[in-house]
Amino acid sequence: MLSLGGFAFASPWLLAGFVIVPALWWLLRVTPPAPTIVRFPAIRLLLGLVPPEETPARTPLWLILLRMLLAALLILALAHPIVNPTAALPGGGPLLLVVDDGWAAATDWPARQRVMTELIDRAEREGRQVVLLPTAPNGAVDPLSLVRPADARGQAQALRPKPWPTDRAVALKRLDSVDLHGGASVYWLSDGLDDKGGAQALGEKLRGIGAVHFLAPPAVQTARLVALGPDTARDLTVTVKRAAQGEAPPVRLRASGEDGRMLAQAEGRFPEDRGSVDVAFKMPTELRNRVARIDIEGETTAGSTLLIDEESRRRPVGIASDRPTGSAQPLLSDTYYVERAVEPFAELRRGAAGELIKRGLSLLVLPDGDAGSGDERNALKKWIDAGGVMVRFAGPLMAEAQKDDLLPVTLRHGGRTIGGAMSWEKPAHLAPFPAESPFAGLEVPSDVTVARQVLAEPSVDLGAKTWMRLSDGTPLVTAEKRGKGWLVLIHTSANTAWSNLPLSGLFVDMLRRLVQLGQGQAGAAEGVLPPWQIMDGFGRLAAPPPTAQPAAGSALAKLPVGPSHPPGFYGTEESHRALNLSGSVTGLAPITDLPAGLSREGYVKAPELDLRPGLLGAALLLALIDLVIGYGLRGLLHVERRVGVAILLGIALASAQAMAADAPNTSGADPADRYTIEATRDLRLAYVRTGDAEADSVSRAGLQGLGTVLARRTAVETGDPMEVDVENDELIFFPLIYWPVTNAQKPLSPQAVERVNRYLATGGTILFDARDEGQATGGANDAADRLSQLLAGVKIPPLVQIPPDHVLTKSFYLMQDFPGRWDGSVLWVEPAEDRVNDGVSTVIYGANDWAAAWAVDGQGFPSYAVVPGGEAQREQAFRFGINLVMYALTGNYKADQVHVPAILERLGQ
């Protein structure tokens, strides 16, 4: 291999082929191009002609250059040039690959894996064996072994970063299990993070084996770690740690819920001289409680993900609902208003007070009533001491209760009624909040009144315990700090019986303040928690691996993360605790003091690029071009320029067509499209194909004749009538459809019924023609019966005999009879009061065989005699047709009363 910096030839001796290029030049120069052969009758005139100047025909210079370029490309390609050739492995013996596959390696794992594969490829080329040593523990310490490169490749490809830290001391021990005394090429693919001196020891050991290549990412690209920050009480705060120092781009964090939806973003900037930064998420409580994990944007490691469990969330609000609620009706219920007030910003839990406090709660609301039995009271007291906040509401039960030690103040028996029927007083208003009250700053609405309350016995500390007063000074909310928690009493009821306070916005704000007051207390230790969802090395949650073991709930926070306890959620879906990597990794430090003699490298390296296929392809392309040029010069391409352009265009179009093959075909070749275009190009009258060829031809001829008369007498110009197949064709394009009833028709399919219904609903009109002169016999062949069978399912409105003032009688001609080929049958229409479709009857039914009366033959002569006869009857038939088309097209405007006088006047003549 001949190497020239980042460029090398695998077979450089083939470059000697360039010697022939000058020879090629000479050869091509002296060889004239093959002549064009032309048969020519006037050759006698050509014979003996001597050209004035004797310049021998030469191959054009550009063609010579093209061919030489082709030859040069071929020679170059055969020499097999390679850009960025990878050098051979240094040293001898097997290849020892030490791979840091701890959590920090996940930042650029594909690069590491590529380097591994490349190294193994090179070992394979040189026939050397491979030892692969991952430094992160994986549960079992199995001895290392020399393996063939192909097997090592499989191992390397199966290797994944672990969600726990590396343990290089263990790796050091494993190294003893393989015999490498003959020396080896050592590559250490490190993650750049020191683990309390383990890196130095490993470095020493490796240096003893052979030349060590130490690969590490740049300091600014080493993995970062997210830990739960201090002071999570107010805002959710996390600490981001890094190994390097100095200036760095801001770190962006993302908080997401259990469903993966992003809830908040925060940004922090590392101070230049520090390795950690605290970032706070500003978000409403209701969002905060839904945060399940926090990630560093753009990083996917187990360390860049922080799992949030209930421990670090705000506790929900519990409402003791196991007691009588006062009423079965919700608006009178004791808890209804509290629930409605708390719901928007806190998670609500209902249940017995004793049960509620076993799980985490920030606030326990006890509506009116007893605090429970002795055991319950004790549990509640303990809970409050440990940091719980209990809010009690007064009520009739409390007012009558004897003695209650779960109250911040001593209550006077019986309570107080202000402004009752027996009192002159008015219901009391609220006083402004004292400055030291947690409610301070809330606005006091003037319309809140309290009609009844329980009264505190006066005592020395009553003033200090009072958070809220009525305008006359009596305490309305009192509170007492017990242990770490609070016991709060609202001296009026939680429903509207005693006060309209629960109806006010102030009530919501007060409860919000109270919820913020409570930090609550975690539930009791849940015992042994099985792994529920475990993080992999890339920070993705998945089902737990078999090596993960259950952990004691109490000890979970202090558990070292490792193969048996990978980070993730432990517990059940309903109640789980998070184990984070940040608990086990205290600080991050870069690997600095490695022993001398290790060559440091980075991971990023341009990949080897083989130029041979490209060069060969180019040479082939040039050869093809040369072939075409050669043919062209010899005149064998009898392609005129126009034809050539057409061919090129054709090729371009064909490729464009191929590209656009998926696009919908708009050329109209589709029969449905053709039908649509045909149906909409002109205004067309349509008739239904009955399957009876004679009836169909009569229909066609009839509509043809009607169209001619229409064009002659009115402004309506119709195209040729169209035949529609109700089963297949869309009807919606036609204003009027003529539907003769024959014996041959079969009942409509559901699709056709649906289509006809849609047509009728969207303004279409169908003229059904029974063609039997109205001679209903009642037998099986009765047209009306057939029609009802035929149209089973079609929504035909009830029909009435046409009234004398119907629009059909005056839409163009004034007429009262509607004869066709026959005369005498009654015309049935939809009653006019149905004002859908502009009052136009969707269905018109008759039996006079109008199409036969309208039908004309090729010369325009009527095809059928009308019965009883006379051209007057045919004229009336045509007039009916015109009226009908006008009716279908113009709707009911002729029904307008405006025209009545003029019509009456004409009738009078």
Partner 1 sequence: MGLSMVPTPPTRHEAEALAGRLPPLLVEAERIAATVIQGVHGRRRIGTGDSFWQFRAYTAGDPVTRIDWRQTGKSGRPYIRENEWEAAQSVWLWHDRSPSMDWHSSRRLPLKSERAALLLLALSALLIRGGERVALLGEGDRPGHGPAVLERLALRLAQPHKRKPGEQDGLPISIELPAHAGLVLISDFLTPLDELRRIVMGFAGRRVRGHLLQVLDPAEETLPYDGRVRFDGLEHEPSTLVSRVESIRGQYLDKLAAQREGLAALARLYGWSFATHRTDHPPHAALLALFGMMSGAPQRGRPQQGWV
Size of site (CB under 8 A) for partner 1: 26
Most distant CA pair in the chain, distance: 147
Of positions 22, 35, 458, 602, contacts partner 1 by CB under 8 A: 35
Q: What is the DSSP letter of 305?
A: E
Of 47 and 140, CB closest to partner 1: 47
Angle of the 612-633 helix axis to the 61-78 helix axis, nearest 10: 150
Alpha-carbon distance of 102 to 192, in angstroms, equals 11
Alpha-carbon distance of 440 to 469, in angstroms, equals 12
User: Which residues of 682-822 form beta strands (DSSP E)?
Assistant: 686-688, 722-724, 736-740, 765-769, 800-801
CB of 822 to partner 1, least distance (A): 57
Stretch in the footprint of partner 1 (CB under 8 A) among 41-49, 112-120, 137-145, 714-722: 41-49
CB of 851 to partner 1, least distance (A): 49
Of positions 5, 13, 19, 47, contacts partner 1 by CB under 8 A: 47
Mark residues 164-203: x for contact with partner 1 by CB under 8 A, - for none: ----------------------------------------
User: What own/partner pairs with CB < 8 Å and gap ≥ 24 does 28-35 have?
Assistant: 28/59, 28/63, 28/64, 28/67, 28/68, 29/58, 29/59, 29/64, 31/59, 32/56, 32/57, 32/58, 32/59, 33/57, 33/59, 33/63, 33/630, 33/633, 33/634, 34/630, 34/633, 34/634, 35/634
Stretch in the footprint of partner 1 (CB under 8 A) among 47-55, 137-145, 196-204, 345-353: 47-55
Element housing 228 (H / E):
strand 225-228
Of 261 and 638, CB closest to partner 1: 638
Of 51 and 110, CB closest to partner 1: 51
Of positions 5, 19, 51, 181, contacts partner 1 by CB under 8 A: 51
Alpha-carbon distance of 503 to 569, in angstroms, equals 41
Whether the CB-CB separation of 410 and 456 falls below 8 Å is answered with yes
Of positions 32, 218, 463, 824, contacts partner 1 by CB under 8 A: 32
Element housing 843 (H / E):
strand 843-846
Calculate the dihedral angle through the C-alpha atoms of 498, 503, 506, 508, rounding to the nearest 10 degrees. 110
**What is the three-state SS of 783-818?**
HHHHHHHHCCCCCCCCCEECCCCCHHHCCCCCCCCC
Whether the CB-CB separation of 293 and 256 falls below 8 Å is answered with yes
Mark residues 55-94: x for contact with partner 1 by CB under 8 A, - for none: xxx-------------------------------------
CB of 626 to partner 1, least distance (A): 17
Stretch in the footprint of partner 1 (CB under 8 A) among 39-47, 643-651, 746-754, 821-829: 39-47
**For residue 355, how many other CB atoms are within 10 A of its CB?**
13
Tell the burial category of 497 from Cβ atoms under 10 Å away from its Cβ (0-12, 13-18, 19+).
Answer: middle
Stretch in the footprint of partner 1 (CB under 8 A) among 52-60, 206-214, 392-400, 708-716: 52-60
Alpha-carbon distance of 86 to 104, in angstroms, equals 27
Whether the CB-CB separation of 568 and 579 falls below 8 Å is answered with yes
CB of 623 to partner 1, least distance (A): 22
Stretch in the footprint of partner 1 (CB under 8 A) among 26-34, 662-670, 729-737, 781-789: 26-34
Of 42 and 421, CB closest to partner 1: 42
Stretch in the footprint of partner 1 (CB under 8 A) among 50-58, 135-143, 664-672, 699-707: 50-58
Of positions 49, 328, 606, 780, contacts partner 1 by CB under 8 A: 49
Of positions 5, 13, 41, 606, contacts partner 1 by CB under 8 A: 41
Of positions 11, 36, 373, 459, contacts partner 1 by CB under 8 A: 36
Of 38 and 435, CB closest to partner 1: 38
Of 634 and 713, CB closest to partner 1: 634
Stretch in the footprint of partner 1 (CB under 8 A) among 32-40, 380-388, 524-532, 722-730: 32-40
Those residues with Cβ within 8 angstroms of residue 654's Cβ, 6 or more apart along the chain or in another chain: none
CB of 625 to partner 1, least distance (A): 19
Stretch in the footprint of partner 1 (CB under 8 A) among 33-41, 96-104, 742-750, 795-803: 33-41
Of positions 5, 19, 52, 331, contacts partner 1 by CB under 8 A: 52
Of positions 5, 39, 871, 897, contacts partner 1 by CB under 8 A: 39
Residue 43 touches partner 1, criterion: CB under 8 A: yes
Of 35 and 824, CB closest to partner 1: 35
Alpha-carbon distance of 441 to 433, in angstroms, equals 7
Those residues with Cβ within 8 angstroms of residue 90's Cβ, 6 or more apart along the chain or in another chain: 185, 211
∠ CA 309-314-319, nearest 5°, is 115
Q: Tell me which residue has tokens 């719901």.
A: 343
Stretch in the footprint of partner 1 (CB under 8 A) among 49-57, 379-387, 420-428, 527-535: 49-57
Of 42 and 331, CB closest to partner 1: 42
Per-residue CA distances from 500 to 238, 452, 473, 493 (Å): 43, 10, 18, 9
Of 47 and 87, CB closest to partner 1: 47
The per-residue DSSP string of 563-590 comes to: SSS-SEEEE-SSSEEEE-GGGT-----B
CB of 635 to partner 1, least distance (A): 8
CB of 28 to partner 1, least distance (A): 15
Among residue numbers 584 through 613, which ones bind partner 1 (CB under 8 A)? Answer: none
Of positions 13, 53, 249, 402, contacts partner 1 by CB under 8 A: 53
Distance from the first to the final alpha carbon of the chain: 116
CB of 37 to partner 1, least distance (A): 5
Alpha-carbon distance of 103 to 304, in angstroms, equals 9
Of 35 and 803, CB closest to partner 1: 35
Of 49 and 661, CB closest to partner 1: 49
Of 45 and 421, CB closest to partner 1: 45
Among residue numbers 613 through 652, which ones bind partner 1 (CB under 8 A)? Answer: 633, 635
Q: Tell me which residue has tokens 């005149």.
A: 635
Tokens encoding 659: 């590209």
CB of 850 to partner 1, least distance (A): 53
Peptide bond connecting 149 to the previous residue in cis, omega within 30 degrees of 0 = no
Whether the CB-CB separation of 465 and 524 falls below 8 Å is answered with no
Of 59 and 718, CB closest to partner 1: 59
CB of 634 to partner 1, least distance (A): 9
Binding site for partner 1 (CB under 8 A): 32-47, 49-53, 55-57, 633, 635
